[in-house]
């Protein structure tokens, strides 16, 4: 794909065709990193940081009470 750098407010921008975004698995709203390498501009999709166990546990409501679920009688070779 070839394109032209255009004026966009006080900045400059380029438009990327849908097939290019699809091939790179980039969607509207995704965060990207932009950097220069040699004489090229590289646009790379940022990977989402996986939350740590501590971060996940911190989201559990203080009033959460675990419950037991009755899944019924064993149907296979389960041992209880």
Contacts of 60 (CB under 8 A, 6+ apart): none
Separation between Cα atoms, residue 6 and residue 66, nearest integer Å: 57
Question: Per-residue pLDDT tens for 28-75?
Answer: 999 999 999 999 999 999 988 889 999 999 999 999 999 998 888 878
CATH 2.10.260.10 fits 6-46, yes or no: yes
Q: Where are the beta strands (DSSP E) in the chain?
A: 6-8, 11-13, 32-37, 40-45
Strand partners, 40: 37
What CA–CA distance (Å, rounded) separates 21 from 44? 11
Q: State pTM to two decimals.
A: 0.53
Residues in the chain: 80
Quote the tokens at residue 21.
Answer: 């975004």
């Amino acid at each position: 794909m070839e394109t032209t750098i255009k004026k966009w407010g006080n900045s400059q921008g380029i438009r990327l065709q849908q097939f290019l975004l699809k091939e790179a698995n980039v969607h509207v709203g995704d965060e990207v990193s932009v950097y220069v390498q040699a004489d090229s501009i590289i646009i790379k999709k940022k990977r989402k940081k996986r939350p740590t166990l501590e971060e996940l546990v911190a989201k559990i409501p203080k009033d959460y009470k675990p419950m037991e679920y009755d899944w019924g009688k064993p149907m296979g070779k389960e041992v209880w």
